[in-house]
Structure 1
Amino acid sequence: MENHVSYQALSSLLPKYPKTAGALFQTYNDLKLAQQWTDLEVIDLTSCSRGVLKGRRPQTDNVLHVIPCSLAESLSTSWIRAAFKELGEPSQIYLGINAEDSSIVYYKISPGIVKPPL
C-alpha cells in the first residue's frame, strides 16, 4: 500500500485508523481514479474514528462527502448523526460500503425523513 501513488494523500490517516484503512484506501482510489472526482480531500472525522472524502463529481459544482466503511461494520443512527454534525450539517452524505471482493456500493443518507423524487 505504501508504494501506491495515492498513499501520500492518505498517509496521515491510514495509521491513525487502521480498522478503516482498507475502506478508505479503496474508496479514495475509486473516486480519484475510476470516477475521476475533482478537488478530492481527505478529512479526519474524529467522531467516527475514520477518514472522510470530500470532493466533486466530474462536471459538477456540488461538494459531496463520502464516509468509507466496511460491509462487516455495524453502524448506528447516533454514529450517522455525529458524522452530519462534525461535517457541518450537509444536506446529504454518502456511505461508501466496501465488500471483501473490493466492490463498493454508495448509499446516500439524508437527515430526517426525505420524500423521494418522483
Structure 2
Amino acid sequence: MESHPSHGELSQLVEKYPQTAGSLFQTYNDLKLAQQWEDLQILDLPACSRGAFKGRRPKTTDMLLVVPCSLAESLSISWFDEAFKQLGKPSQIYLAINAEDSNIVYYKISPGIIKPPV
C-alpha cells in the first residue's frame, strides 16, 4: 500500500485508523481512479474511527458523501447516528462495503425510516 501513488493522500488517516485502512484505500481508489469522481475530498470521522469522502460523480453537481467499511465489520444504529452527525446531518450517505476480494457495494443510507418509492 505504501508504494501506491494514493498512499500519500491517505497516509494521515491510514496511520490514525489502521483497522479501517484497507476499506479506506480501496474505496478512495475506486472513486478516484475507476469512477473518476470530481472534487474528491478526504474527511476525518473521529467518532466513527475512520475516514470518509465527499465528491461528485462525473458531469453532476450533487456532492455525495461516502463512508467506507469492511464486510466483516459490525455497525450499529448509534454508529450511523454519529456518522450522520459528523457529516453535518445530510439527507443521505453512501456506505461503501468492501469485501476481501476487492469488491465494493455502495448502499444509500438515509436517517430514520423512509418509505421507498413505488
Match in the other structure for 2:3: 3
Match in the other structure for 1:107: 107
- After superposition, residues 23-42 of structure 1 pair within 5 angstroms as 23-42=23-42
Match in the other structure for 1:57: 57
Query: In the aligned structure 1, how far is the partner of 2:57 from the partner of 2:47?
Result: 25
Count of matched residue positions in the alignment of Structure 1 and Structure 2: 118
Structure 2, unaligned runs of 5 or more: none
Structure 1: which 4+ aligned runs deviate by more than 3 Å?
none
Give TM-score scaled by structure 1 length.
0.97
TM superposition shift of 1:117: 2.3
Query: In the aligned structure 1, how far is the partner of 2:16 from the partner of 2:98?
Result: 19
Match in the other structure for 1:19: 19
Query: In the aligned structure 2, how far is the partner of 1:39 from the partner of 1:10?
Result: 15
- After superposition, residues 75-90 of structure 1 pair within 5 angstroms as 75-90=75-90
Structure 1, unaligned runs of 5 or more: none
- State the one-letter code of the partner of 2:37: W
Query: In the aligned structure 1, how far is the partner of 2:15 from the partner of 2:91?
Result: 30
| Greater per-residue helix proportion | 2
Say what the alpha-carbon RMSD is for the aligned residues: 0.7
Percent of matched pairs sharing the same residue? 71
Query: In the aligned structure 2, how far is the partner of 1:101 from the partner of 1:3?
Result: 20
Query: In the aligned structure 1, how far is the partner of 2:92 from the partner of 2:29?
Result: 21
- State the one-letter code of the partner of 1:89: K
Give TM-score scaled by structure 2 length.
0.97
